[in-house]
Amino acid sequence: MLWVVTLVYFLIRFSRRNGSFSEYVSFFLDLASRKFILIGFHILFILFGLLYFVIVHFIKVGQKKGSATAWRQFSLCFIMPLVFLIVGFKTVVYINAYEGHNFQWDHTAINKTGRANHFYETDGKQRGASVFGWSEDNTEAIDQLIRANVEWVAIIPFLHQENETVSQMEIPDASETYSRRDSSFIKAINDLHKNGLHVHLKPHLWMSEGWRANIKLKNKTEWDQWFESYRSNMLRYARIAQETNTELFCIGTELRTSIKNQPEKWEQLIKEIRAIYDGELTYAANWHDEYEHIDFWDQLDYIGIQAYFPLTKEKLPNLESIEKGWDKHLKVLEAVHKKYNKPILFTEVGYKSTPDATIKPWEWGSYFSTLTEKKSDMTQQLAYEAMFRKNWNQPWFAGLYIWQWQNRSTAEEAQTDIDFSPRYKPAENVIAKWFGTPPNN
């Protein structure tokens, strides 16, 4: 029953968009086949089942003892505990969110012209953000990006693979036909270009279990099967990049074991992409045990790094200690730049709003983290300030992409949000200040 209700919900929601009935059903079935979605369905089924039995029980109580008694018992046994649970949750969240950080917002850093600055054309630095939450109307979302002086946007489609041991990821039935999701990305790219922003198309492999950098396959045959499925997906997105005049295309993100096991296939893939796409290329290598060991940087336009470098060992660090944490990493970055004579691009860099954000910046939280972790907008703000101070004016530095910018974020949510998005937090103002500083200033 729950599956039927959910399917009807999807159909009603997507009926407001352009698309066929079969496409909506296909999208729903594809989504429902994912393990983590199946787990969610089962949890919802259990919750709805329990709610059903509760309602049935109190209906019987009402029939035997009267509606007044049934409502009184229902309120005492169900509604009041639920209210206390919700109030308690909200209370703990707001207590954890209180920091007392009196940040003075610099309103002069905000771009109020409604037009992109185009500083990239002068200094070649990409002022970027990895943006999520695109919709049918992206006008307000793009306006907010321009207000923060963002000039480049990473569009991130997700490829899917169940786990680290599967020898083939999902591939589209027809490589020449674009899916509904692809169409939404194409629309976002076109909307960004119309507003004078540059685009970085950066497909990610997403796994239901495990991490893409740790793919473990049994033999060469399985590795070849895996790469062929990956190749099919990437050539498809390279064609989209070409058709939409996307300025930068990322050939892969954090696929360490594949690069180690089949370097020749990556070099061949670069050649194939070059044959159909005439924009610039990069690869997004993990900061740890990957970017220093890649041999094909000379075949790309940028050395791309997922720059989640550990910077401090203590929580709530001051600006000086965070800056000092960059020193050892800068030496290695400069050495890699000199080896390949290529500019370095931070394809991702981000910090959560937590006191330990600079200790292990790559770690994700969970929905319940707001119950167990304190919020620290100050740490996030100082981490960005230190990152810009130490990297922005390096001669080898080609820019960065903030991880991550959520179009659906609200100012109210930002008051308790401890995740990566800097929107409506002091970090957004720091980003706007640095992105909005004219070249040579």
One domain, residues 112 and 84: no
For 334, counting Cβ atoms within 10 Å of its Cβ (0-12 exposed, 13-18 middle, 19+ buried), the class is middle
Q: Is the pLDDT confidence value at 256 over 90?
A: yes
| 146 closest CA partner among 109, 184, 121 | 109
One domain, residues 130 and 183: yes
Higher pLDDT, 234 or 48: 234
Cα dihedral 104, 109, 112, 439 in deg (nearest 10):
180
* End-of-domain residue from the set 96, 122, 145: 96
Number of domains the chain is built from:
2
Higher pLDDT, 91 or 410: 410
Determine phi and psi for 152, rounding to 5 degrees: -125, 140
Examine residue 58 and state whether it is found in any structural domain, yes or no.
yes
One domain, residues 133 and 176: yes
Q: Which pLDDT belongs to residue 249?
A: 98
Examine residue 101 and state whether it is found in any structural domain, yes or no.
no
Best mean pLDDT range from 53-57, 132-136, 170-174, 271-275: 271-275
Examine residue 440 and state whether it is found in any structural domain, yes or no.
no
pTM more than 0.75: yes
Q: Which pLDDT belongs to residue 33?
A: 55
The model's pLDDT over 187-211, given as tens digits with 9 standing for 90+, comes to: 999 999 999 999 999 999 999 899 9
- 6 pLDDT band, cuts 50/70/90, is low
- 247 pLDDT band, cuts 50/70/90, is very high
Per DSSP, the residues of 11-40 read HHHHTTSS--HHHHHHHHHHHHTSHHHHHH
Calculate the average pLDDT of the chain: 88
Q: Is the pLDDT confidence value at 177 over 90?
A: no
Examine residue 116 and state whether it is found in any structural domain, yes or no.
yes
Q: Is the pLDDT confidence value at 223 over 90?
A: yes
- Per DSSP, 327 falls in state H
**Could you tell me the two tokens for 91?**
């209370």
One domain, residues 291 and 390: yes
In 202-264, DSSP assigns E strands to: 204-207, 248-253
* End-of-domain residue from the set 96, 130, 151: 96
Determine phi and psi for 260, rounding to 5 degrees: -70, -40
One domain, residues 236 and 336: yes
Examine residue 441 and state whether it is found in any structural domain, yes or no.
no
One domain, residues 57 and 178: no
* End-of-domain residue from the set 96, 121, 140: 96
**Residues 330-344, mean pLDDT to the nearest whole number:** 97
Please count the residues of the chain.
Answer: 441
One domain, residues 84 and 191: no
The model's pLDDT over 258-302, given as tens digits with 9 standing for 90+, comes to: 999 999 999 999 999 999 999 999 999 999 999 999 999 999 999
CB 11 within 8 A of CB 23: no
One domain, residues 82 and 173: no
One domain, residues 195 and 87: no
The model's pLDDT over 45-83, given as tens digits with 9 standing for 90+, comes to: 777 777 777 777 767 777 777 777 777 777 777 777 777
Examine residue 77 and state whether it is found in any structural domain, yes or no.
yes
Q: Which pLDDT belongs to residue 22?
A: 54
Q: Is the pLDDT confidence value at 16 over 50?
A: no
Q: Which pLDDT belongs to residue 65?
A: 77
User: The domain containing residue 171 runs over which residues?
Assistant: 106-435
One domain, residues 325 and 230: yes
Distance CA 333, CA 305 (A): 10
Q: Which pLDDT belongs to residue 66?
A: 78
Place of tokens 């930002």: 414
Per DSSP, the residues of 61-128 read HHHHH-HHHHHHHHIIIIIHHHHHHHHHHHHHHHHHH---------GGGS--SSS---THHHH--EEE
Q: Which pLDDT belongs to residue 1?
A: 47
**Residues 7-29, mean pLDDT to the nearest whole number:** 51
One domain, residues 276 and 198: yes
- What residue type is 54 in one-letter code? V
Q: Is the pLDDT confidence value at 183 over 70?
A: yes
Examine residue 139 and state whether it is found in any structural domain, yes or no.
yes
Q: Which pLDDT belongs to residue 99?
A: 77
Q: What is the CATH number of the domain that holds 358?
A: 3.20.20.80
One domain, residues 357 and 307: yes
Q: Is the pLDDT confidence value at 20 over 60?
A: no
| 117 closest CA partner among 435, 434, 440, 424 | 435
Q: Which pLDDT belongs to residue 71?
A: 79
Q: Which pLDDT belongs to residue 81?
A: 76
Distance CA 78, CA 230 (A): 50
> What residue spans of 262-415 are helical by DSSP H?
263-276, 319-325, 327-340, 369-372, 377-391, 411-414
Q: Is the pLDDT confidence value at 441 over 70?
A: no
CB 355 within 8 A of CB 374: yes
The model's pLDDT over 382-408, given as tens digits with 9 standing for 90+, comes to: 999 999 999 999 999 999 999 999 999
Examine residue 203 and state whether it is found in any structural domain, yes or no.
yes
